Amino acid sequence: MSDVHDLTRALQKKNESKIVLLVADGLGGLPQKPGDLTELETAKTPNLDALAQRGTSGLSTPVLPGITSGSGPGHLGLFGYDPLQYQIGRGVLEALGIDFELGPDDVAIRGNFCTLDEHGNITDRRAGRIGNDIAAPLCEKLNKIKIPGIEVFVQHVKEYRLVVVFRGPGLGGDVHDTDPQKTGVPPLVPEAKAPGSEKTIEVAHQFLQQARDILKNDSPANFLTLRGIAKRPPIPTFEEVYGTRAGAIAVYPMYRGLARLVGMDVLDAGQTLSDQCDRLKAAWDDYDFFFMHFKYTDSTGEDGNFEAKVQRTEELDAAIPRIMEQDPTVLIVTGDHCTPSKMKSHSWHPVPTLITAENCRFDGRPGFSEKDCLLGGLGQFEAKHLMLMALAHAGRLEKFGA
């Protein structure tokens, strides 16, 4: 068989099992200095530790060893889609995350408001993390941009983030980001990754020229960068390849978009982890598989705030009893990538992963941490294989071969 999904299609087995995939975004870190503890090792996590003692743990590699993964590839891997085969632009995910219906002539873009100084250099890549009350009206102003022969849509997402969609014939989605990923330099100019996107580059130039004029007096959000410029690709659905009805309980639009991309039902998740647990309980009888997403172990890491990431990890731990009240057949706790607060960014380090189920081969680890997972029974594995283990532990795969 050419694809692992061909295998899962052939081996699908229906039953009454329930699987919960709890993704703590950016889970896993580094000690501040050699010999110290990581954020996860520092946090008081009695509930996760108890699960580890009755489960199997290990370390998952989001893409390949040494490759730092974005959130999109990281989650697709967890969903069992090879991130090297399915490369999805972040703009597509953001658009789907706010329920924007992308058509075949659409190019979707994730925008970040940013701050430029008098020389045109970026001083803040996120415009001071402006709130919705400031960003939403700016999006309304940008939504009035006109480009001949192209429909332009600008919609606010959350805080400093927005979605831009260009709609028109002949647009390609192979365009580099304009975010230089550092301050003290000007935004990059749109450039093609491959032939076929020349028209998109011209449209992006016109859009940015008009945007600069519109936003020039709106510091700290006096410009924007364009990221994840892409068209929506074809991708098989979760139910098709695994035979499960899946519900997504995520707050942030991008992760809701990832779930929608693979055909999950995206459920109203409220705003807090407590709201998400309430939603899990309410929807328990309607789905076989639940994807729950917790953002703040990532954002605190990106902020370089060790103590805040410890606190958010403890917040996640406190929600475990609420999830276990539903008596899931399989509970998986993992992350889409590591975000060590020491690095203030995503990293390539393998991600702590825990599976608990009635038929686990218990590995006797006393807790849930990087050190424990390094010695756990799952070993180190590519994240794209996690769904196979989830299905197996749930009894949802038939035997392969005679």
The answer to whether position 401 is within a domain reads no
* Whether residues 162 and 250 fall in one domain: no
* Whether residues 349 and 287 fall in one domain: yes
| Cα–Cα dist 184/186, whole Å | 7
Q: What is the mean pLDDT of residues 105-111?
A: 96
The answer to whether position 398 is within a domain reads no
| Cα–Cα dist 366/381, whole Å | 21
What percent of the chain is modeled with pLDDT above 70?
A: 100
* Average pLDDT of the residues of the chain: 95
The answer to whether position 145 is within a domain reads yes
* Whether residues 253 and 324 fall in one domain: yes
Q: What is the mean pLDDT of residues 40-55?
A: 97
End of a domain among 209, 230, 251? 230
With 70 as the cut, is the pLDDT of residue 2 above it?
no
The answer to whether position 143 is within a domain reads yes
* Whether residues 52 and 31 fall in one domain: yes
* Whether residues 259 and 389 fall in one domain: yes
What percent of the chain is modeled with pLDDT above 90?
A: 94
- Using DSSP's 3-state secondary structure scheme, residue 182 falls into coil
With 70 as the cut, is the pLDDT of residue 140 above it?
yes
Q: CATH number, domain at 33?
A: 3.40.720.10
- pLDDT tens digits for 292-336? 999 999 999 999 999 999 999 999 999 999 999 999 999 999 999
The answer to whether position 313 is within a domain reads yes
Q: What is the mean pLDDT of residues 3-7?
A: 92
End of a domain among 230, 259, 275? 230
The answer to whether position 181 is within a domain reads yes
With 70 as the cut, is the pLDDT of residue 255 above it?
yes
Q: What is the mean pLDDT of residues 169-192?
A: 95
* Whether residues 123 and 193 fall in one domain: yes
- pLDDT tens digits for 53-107? 999 999 999 999 999 999 999 999 999 999 999 988 889 989 998 989 899 999 9
Q: Which two tokens stand for residue 173?
A: 């989605």
* Whether residues 122 and 79 fall in one domain: no
The answer to whether position 402 is within a domain reads no
* Whether residues 240 and 383 fall in one domain: yes
359 within 8 A of 15, measured Cβ to Cβ: no
Among 141, 208, 200, 139, residue whose Cα is nearest residue 166: 200
- pLDDT tens digits for 379-400? 999 999 999 999 999 999 999 9
End of a domain among 208, 230, 252? 230
With 70 as the cut, is the pLDDT of residue 184 above it?
yes
Q: Are strands 19-24 and 330-334 parallel, antiparallel or unpaired?
A: parallel
| pLDDT band (50, 70, 90) for residue 220 | very high
Contacts 24+ apart (CB under 8 A), 232-235: 232/92, 232/96, 232/102, 232/106, 232/108, 232/261, 233/86, 233/87, 233/88, 233/92, 235/81, 235/86, 235/88, 235/261, 235/262
| pLDDT band (50, 70, 90) for residue 233 | confident
* Whether residues 79 and 48 fall in one domain: yes
pLDDT score, position 194: 85
Tell me the residue ranges of DSSP E strands in 96-184: 106-116, 122-124, 151-158, 161-167
The answer to whether position 241 is within a domain reads yes
> What pTM was estimated for this model as a whole?
0.85
Name the residue range of residue 327's domain: 4-87+236-393
The total number of structural domains that make up the chain:
2
* Whether residues 108 and 249 fall in one domain: no
pLDDT score, position 1: 37
Q: What is the mean pLDDT of residues 186-197?
A: 93
* Whether residues 112 and 222 fall in one domain: yes
* Whether residues 43 and 131 fall in one domain: no
71 within 8 A of 337, measured Cβ to Cβ: yes
